[in-house]
Amino acid sequence: MTNDDEILGILGDEYSRKILAILAKNELNAQEISAKLGIPASTTYRKIKSLESLGLIKKTKVVRTLEGLDESYYKSLVSGIDVKFRDGEMSCKLEKFAMDEKIQRLWEKFSEK
């Protein structure tokens, strides 16, 4: 299980929150995230690495570009995060996307083609 302090640290970071928010709605690569948020790619890659290590996002696919480079796409695994402060202690509860939602998104993706 992830550490509440690490999750609170991520939530305290503006760009990590924004990345998590846009990946909850879209599957994007790091360059697309950088462009949408107007931040350097290096910052985006650092934030992605942190979010991925905490299990908040995951790499969904890798696409080979015409230049021969691998481009990774990411999606949020979290549908919600509840933060609670009680008796002097902070805690976080993660709500992950249910399997049926993942199947629904997969079905929608195939329907588009």
Structure tokens at 86: 């009680």
- Identify the burial level of 19 via C-beta atoms within 10 angstroms of its C-beta, where 0-12 means exposed, 13-18 middle and 19 or more buried: buried
pLDDT in 10s for each residue of the chain, 113 residues: 458 889 999 999 999 999 999 999 999 999 999 999 999 999 999 999 999 999 999 999 999 989 998 999 999 999 889 999 999 988 889 888 875 566 666 666 666 65
Paired tokens of 63: 């696409």
- How high does pLDDT run on average in the chain? 88
Domains of the chain: 4-112 (1.10.10.10)
Count CB atoms within 10 A of the CB of residue 77: 19
Give the C-alpha separation, 107 to 54, whole Å: 27
Cα 32 from Cα 73, distance rounded (Å): 9
